[in-house]
Amino acid sequence: MNLSNLRPAKGAVSSKKRIGRGNASGQGRTAGKGHKGYKSRSGASGKLHYEGGQMPLMRRLPKRGFTNYWFKNTYQIVNLESINLLKAKKVDNNSLYEQGLIKKLSLPVKILSKGNLDKPIEIAANSFSKNAIKKIEESGGKAIFL
């Protein structure tokens, strides 16, 4: 053990600067904030969008188009793998709701192709993916659009 290896015990020395505790502390007077100006004041923190008077980015970029969320189509998604687990020959929105695969009867249902079908099933839904229709027909089933 040498004097050069000695370290204070963990937690004994605070690494946090004690700002504004007199000139002798090394962080007295202006407390490391310089002279005057916005950032020298108490409570001052820069606005995220403020660029020093330059036109902000969000105002420089052009505004294009409009998306009306009122008419947005939201589908409830059901995969073929979960339909395959059902022991039914015909599947529609009501049977999916009873099994807990969809949460609302009021929203449309889309069938996606994840998984495979072992048996022929007649599926009635609002929408199907192309691969889902192909897999349903390959298994001998039928895809019915509502």
pLDDT of 48:
84
Residues 37, 58: Cα–Cα separation, whole Å: 25
- 14 pLDDT band, cuts 50/70/90, is confident
- Domain residues for the domain of 141 are 72-145
Is 48 contained in some domain? no
What CATH number corresponds to the domain at position 110? 3.100.10.10
Residues 130, 113: Cα–Cα separation, whole Å: 8
pLDDT of 67:
85
The whole-number average pLDDT for the span 28-49 is 85
pLDDT of 143:
93
pLDDT 10s digits, 44-65? 887 888 888 999 998 999 988 8
Is 131 contained in some domain? yes
pLDDT of 26:
83
The whole-number average pLDDT for the span 54-79 is 91
Residues 83, 68: Cα–Cα separation, whole Å: 33
Question: Is the pLDDT assigned to residue 27 strictly greater than 90?
Answer: no
